[in-house]
Structure 1
Amino acid sequence: MDKGYEKEGFETLKIKSSVANEFRIFSRMLSKSQSMTLLLMMDFFKENGISPVESMGPHMETLEKRISLLIKKRMNGMIAIMKDIEKNQTKPTVAMLYSLFEHTEPPKKKLILAKKSGEEKNEVRYREKKYLDTNDNEQWKK
């Protein structure tokens, strides 16, 4: 049953059988009942100011203009909201954080564990053994 129309009775309309068959196929494509399909079609024509008798040429152009105006209005609204957020929230917060960190920045100290790349290259890792003279060997024997 159609929501909101459960208690209403049915009426008959006299339409040609070929038109009725096409309408039934169209209703199945929309997955709606025949009553709801007809109601949707009438609402569409009323909302958009379109007459089924007239051609869609000039009315389609006006629909495009309406849609483009709506999109522009919404975009302008979004831009205004973003500018307001930036002005009233983001910029003051950034300014406060900047002022906090500007005055209390600690001086930079060298890390204790930091390696000095220049000293490592000059440092010798292995040294040649010195051979002891015979005189030195006697000292060690004593």
Structure 2
Amino acid sequence: MDSFITIRFKRKTAKRFQKFSKTHFKTHSEAMEAMLDFFFYNEISPKEKLGPTGRTMEAKLLKRINAVIAIIRDIEKTQTKPTVAMLQSLFKIDEPKKKPLMLEKKFTEEKKQVRFREKHNSNNQL
């Protein structure tokens, strides 16, 4: 079994470390080893900032996505839809208008209506 050594921390820092250690590791030693390994393997210092956090990056990304969506909608309204409408009108096939067929007129006997008829007078008969 490994031997232990005492390290002095401020009470507030020690309580904070104990709380962190209990939630993520079995022992305080494992927690300290994991933190030291993290900084060693990633070659970073605990004093330097890593850059924007996940929340700020997500917020910026969502703003950019909303901007891209707005641009695409504008393109649809001003370019795509009118162009599609023009192309559809060009390729739209209308049914030809039904015109009466022109047939050769044959002489047909039509009943001609008599416009004037003689008036028969029964008195003037001889």
Structure 1 length-normalised TM: 0.35
Larger radius of gyration: 2
More contact order relative to length (CA 8 Å, sep ≥ 6)? 1
Greater helix percent: which structure? 1
